[in-house]
């Protein structure tokens, strides 16, 4: 007989909890949801008030069998899944599937995995919250209905295998709209003027002062005219304004702000941030990581105060209570913070340590005093001119929370930081050292990063803390958006210097348009967005999506009945689906670019079976070419499309085999006798590369391949150089060479012994895995089944 059976959703969480409970408790994991809507059909009985049709996931049947047996033997069953709608639904599904009884089943929740929190939860159990379960069911049903009904429309009208989703489709729409803003943006040229002046301190020492002209000129002629006037002009300080100011710390992290800041400061993707945060939570290092709340408990505020005063002194401490401003905040618990505020660091990999440090610093900073600063603005008059130079500077009087943490922003630039100004007074005369004008161009609106997309979605009320990461991951996996870094274009700009009485015009190079880890729409993403926006205006309306989230919040609060909410949406939606199937035209995003000069045949672009492509002609003589990476059907020119048909380009022969240059989806390449060699980026051009250079690249590739092979034995065993050092490969299996053994000196017998030992280890691992059924569920399975989403839904 088991005294207590505790069921959580994660094996890592189970291990941590097990440490805090005694021998009277058995802790097991369900590995996420144990059942979901049926896959073979809609999984919803529309005729009977949208009743969900659930089935146990095939990979969870063994786990369910084990949990059922343990539950029968247990005096008390404790359902301890996470404290949110998804966690509540997991608990409810366990209660239903395992056939648990209300009299000996208790629901417990905790916001942090600490001994005190778990014991407190056990002493204060509650029933399963039906309202939270209904809110989760409503979201699941709503998303399944949208996905299941709209996706087939896309298959018939756009391209097979496409899918749509209530939240994901509007997220793609945001990226598509931003891309079109950029495409229609008309840049403006201007000249920015910076003056460098000499000032003298009390000891006669010269200190430079840099100031920017209040006016920006649009032409070179206007700029030169101004610089000519500056030759004989005098410069004096017309005003000095100094004012005290202060900066307040940012509140502690919510899910959204953690994702944004981890992206800016650590370079993490949104899904990576949540994966690492999940580990930190399950290890007991931080509080629950899916939250809208910026609130901290009084215990946490007190602990932060103790850490701050002990390390920095009383003057740095300023306890604060933050109020959650997010409308309809889903989780009624704390912000993300360390469970133990005095714990400076944790064990774990580098990502875990970095994210923990970020969370800890932000939490402590939120409980610290304001930073006190003094901001000075100096205005410099130019004799005979209406324009003025201005310089701004900041002095930190008291660093306060800046001692620990400074928040980052998406639009911050390297030169944003205010400089320290020299001591200066109104009426001071200044000596001109250099006046420099530089040609500039206005910048288009910035593309979204994952972090700034989350910020925009949160501002529009699209999604909730638990949905941001899976939404962004899903639209990337479906190929609707791409997360890429792209090189910019070098442009030659004017730099005009006035020094002494001489004006000199120089040419400088500056890179424009470089993008780092930004989100770009794909052609298919743009075509699908256009189709859905035309025929499904409601689900593509940001307000509709936000209102749906609000309705789900009302369901969670018990204010409205979930099936009536679904019914009011479904009836007009389904009618629209039927109408679209009958009346809409096929849309492949086709665009006519012009005609081929030689033949007069039409040149166009469209979505083909294998993606976006260019096409010349019709019927039997039609020719196709795939678009290159970075090219969009919406912006590609006729000339660019015609260039795609110049390849493959024949260069000649080498070793009696033809050598050609082609362009694939991932860039240009050389082909020779089934060998494919990439061109050197920035050195080789596919349109001009010669046969001699191509042969060099072929031989370089062969040399790399030769150096890769250290040894080969008669039975096919090879010892190769790999990315992480030498290894053995045999029968499509790889084997690590033990430390202390040199790869090039291994004999045949020694090599086979390493293979045999490796195979023996694999057999033992397999045997151990099958011994306990639950262990069959790998970490990969866990990730894809926890809070599981059907491919057709969302």
Catalytic residue ranges: 288
Beta strand ranges found along 474-584 (DSSP E):
481-486, 489-499, 502-512, 515-521
Cβ distance 17 to 118 under 8 Å?
Answer: yes
Omega before residue 648 within 30° of 0, cis:
yes
| Tokens read off for 375 | 């901001």
Cα–Cα distance measured from residue 259 to residue 276, given in angstroms and rounded to the nearest whole number: 11
Cα–Cα distance measured from residue 352 to residue 358, given in angstroms and rounded to the nearest whole number: 10
| Tokens read off for 29 | 């994991």
Cβ distance 462 to 167 under 8 Å?
Answer: yes
Cα–Cα distance measured from residue 686 to residue 669, given in angstroms and rounded to the nearest whole number: 8
Q: Residue 619 — left, alpha, or beta (φ > 0 → left; ψ -120 to 50 → alpha)?
A: left
**Residue 725 contacts by C-beta under 8 Å, 6 or more apart in sequence?**
737
Cβ distance 603 to 614 under 8 Å?
Answer: yes
The total of other beta-carbon atoms located within 10 Å of residue 537's CB is 11
Cα–Cα distance measured from residue 624 to residue 481, given in angstroms and rounded to the nearest whole number: 24
**Residue 697 contacts by C-beta under 8 Å, 6 or more apart in sequence?**
670, 677, 679, 680, 684
Angle at CA of residue 259, ends 256 and 261, nearest 5°? 105
| Tokens read off for 318 | 């300023």
Cα–Cα distance measured from residue 665 to residue 675, given in angstroms and rounded to the nearest whole number: 17
| Tokens read off for 189 | 């040229």
The helix/strand/coil state of 211 is strand
Tokens 């201005």, located at residue: 390
**Cα distance from N-terminal residue to C-terminal residue, the chain:** 43
C-alpha dihedral (85, 86, 92, 98), degrees to nearest 10: -170
C-alpha dihedral (685, 690, 692, 698), degrees to nearest 10: 50
Angle at CA of residue 248, ends 242 and 249, nearest 5°? 140
Cα–Cα distance measured from residue 279 to residue 275, given in angstroms and rounded to the nearest whole number: 7
Q: Pinpoint the alpha helices (H) of 98-219.
A: 115-123, 130-157, 168-183
Task: Supply the Cα-derived Rg of the chain in whole angstroms.
Answer: 32
CA distances from 156 to 152, 162, 587, 675 (A): 6, 10, 9, 39
Beta strand ranges found along 218-321 (DSSP E):
235-247
Cα–Cα distance measured from residue 614 to residue 627, given in angstroms and rounded to the nearest whole number: 7
Cα–Cα distance measured from residue 92 to residue 40, given in angstroms and rounded to the nearest whole number: 23
Cα–Cα distance measured from residue 143 to residue 787, given in angstroms and rounded to the nearest whole number: 13
In the chain, what's the furthest Cα-to-Cα distance? 99
**Residue 784 contacts by C-beta under 8 Å, 6 or more apart in sequence?**
none
Cα–Cα distance measured from residue 593 to residue 639, given in angstroms and rounded to the nearest whole number: 9
How many residues make up the chain in this entry? 794
């Amino acid at each position: 007989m088991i005294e207590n059976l505790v069921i959580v959703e994660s094996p890592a969480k189970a291990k941590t909890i097990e440490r805090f409970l005694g021998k009277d408790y058995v802790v097991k994991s369900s590995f996420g949801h144990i059942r979901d809507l049926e896959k073979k059909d809609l999984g919803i009985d529309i005729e009977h008030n949208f009743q969900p049709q659930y089935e146990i996931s095939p990979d969870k049947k063994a786990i369910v069998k084990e949990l059922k047996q343990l539950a029968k033997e247990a005096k008390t069953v404790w359902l301890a899944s996470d404290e949110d709608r998804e966690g509540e639904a997991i608990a409810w599904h366990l209660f239903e599937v395992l056939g648990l009884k209300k009299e000996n089943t208790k629901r417990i929740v905790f916001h942090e995995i600490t001994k005190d929190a778990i014991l407190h939860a056990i002493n204060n159990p509650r029933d399963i919250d039906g309202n939270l379960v209904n809110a989760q069911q409503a979201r699941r049903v709503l998303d399944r209905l949208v996905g299941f009904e709209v996706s087939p429309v896309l298959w018939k009208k756009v391209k097979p295998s496409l899918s749509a989703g209530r939240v994901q489709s509007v997220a793609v729409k945001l990226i598509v709209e931003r891309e079109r803003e950029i495409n229609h943006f008309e840049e403006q040229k201007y000249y920015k003027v910076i003056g460098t002046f000499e000032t003298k301190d009390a000891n006669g020492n010269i200190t430079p002062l840099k100031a920017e002209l209040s006016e920006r000129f649009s032409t070179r002629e206007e700029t030169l005219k101004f610089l000519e006037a500056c030759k004989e002009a005098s410069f004096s300080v017309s005003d000095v304004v100094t004012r005290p100011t202060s900066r307040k710390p940012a509140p502690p992290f919510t899910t959204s702000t953690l994702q944004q800041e981890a992206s800016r400061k650590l370079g993490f993707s949104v899904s990576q941030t949540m994966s690492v945060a999940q580990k930190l939570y399950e290890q007991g290092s931080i509080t629950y990581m899916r939250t809208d709340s910026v609130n901290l408990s009084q215990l946490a505020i007190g602990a932060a105060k103790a850490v701050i005063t002990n390390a920095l002194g009383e003057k740095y401490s300023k306890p604060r209570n933050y109020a959650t401003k997010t409308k309809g905040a889903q989780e009624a618990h704390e912000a993300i913070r360390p469970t133990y505020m005095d714990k400076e660091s944790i064990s774990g990999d580098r990502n875990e340590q970095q994210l923990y440090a970020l969370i800890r610093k932000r939490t402590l900073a939120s409980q610290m005093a304001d930073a006190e600063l003094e901001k000075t603005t100096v205005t410099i008059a130019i004799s005979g001119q209406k324009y003025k130079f201005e310089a701004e500077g900041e002095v930190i009087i008291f660093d306060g929370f800046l001692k620990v943490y400074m928040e980052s922003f998406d639009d911050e630039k390297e030169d944003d930081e205010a400089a320290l100004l020299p001591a200066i007074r109104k009426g001071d005369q200044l000596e001109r050292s250099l006046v420099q004008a530089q040609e500039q161009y206005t910048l288009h609106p910035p593309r979204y990063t994952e972090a700034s997309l989350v910020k925009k979605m949160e501002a529009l009320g699209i999604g909730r803390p638990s949905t941001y990461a899976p939404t962004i991951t899903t639209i990337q996996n479906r190929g609707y958006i791409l997360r890429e870094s792209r090189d910019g274009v070098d442009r030659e700009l004017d730099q005009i210097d006035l020094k002494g009485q001489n004006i000199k015009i120089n040419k400088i190079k500056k890179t424009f348009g470089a993008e780092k880890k930004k989100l770009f729409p794909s052609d298919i993403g743009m075509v699908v967005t256009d189709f859905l926006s035309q025929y499904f205006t409601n689900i593509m309306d940001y307000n509709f999506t936000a209102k749906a989230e609000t309705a789900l919040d009302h369901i969670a609060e018990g204010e409205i009945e979930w099936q009536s909410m679904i019914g009011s949406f479904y009836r007009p939606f389904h009618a629209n689906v039927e109408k679209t199937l009958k009346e809409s035209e096929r849309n492949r995003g086709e665009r006519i670019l012009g005609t081929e000069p030689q033949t007069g045949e039409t040149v166009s672009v469209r979505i083909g079976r294998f993606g976006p492509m260019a096409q010349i002609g019709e019927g039997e003589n039609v020719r196709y070419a795939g678009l290159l990476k970075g090219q969009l059907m919406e912006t590609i020119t006729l000339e660019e499309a015609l260039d795609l048909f110049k390849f493959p380009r024949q260069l000649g022969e080498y070793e009696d085999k033809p050598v050609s240059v082609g362009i694939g989806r991932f860039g240009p390449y050389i082909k020779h006798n089934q060998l494919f060699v990439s061109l050197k980026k920035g050195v080789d051009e596919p349109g001009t590369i010669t046969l001699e250079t191509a042969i060099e690249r072929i031989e370089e590739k062969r040399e790399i391949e030769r150096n890769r092979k250290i040894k080969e034995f008669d039975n096919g065993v090879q010892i190769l150089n790999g990315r992480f050092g030498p290894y053995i490969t045999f029968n499509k299996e790889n084997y690590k060479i033990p430390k202390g053994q040199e790869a090039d000196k291994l004999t045949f017998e020694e090599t086979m012994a390493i293979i045999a030992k490796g195979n023996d280890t694999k057999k033992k691992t397999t045997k151990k895995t099958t011994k306990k059924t639950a262990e069959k569920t790998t970490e990969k399975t866990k990730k894809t089944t926890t809070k599981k989403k059907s491919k057709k839904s969302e």
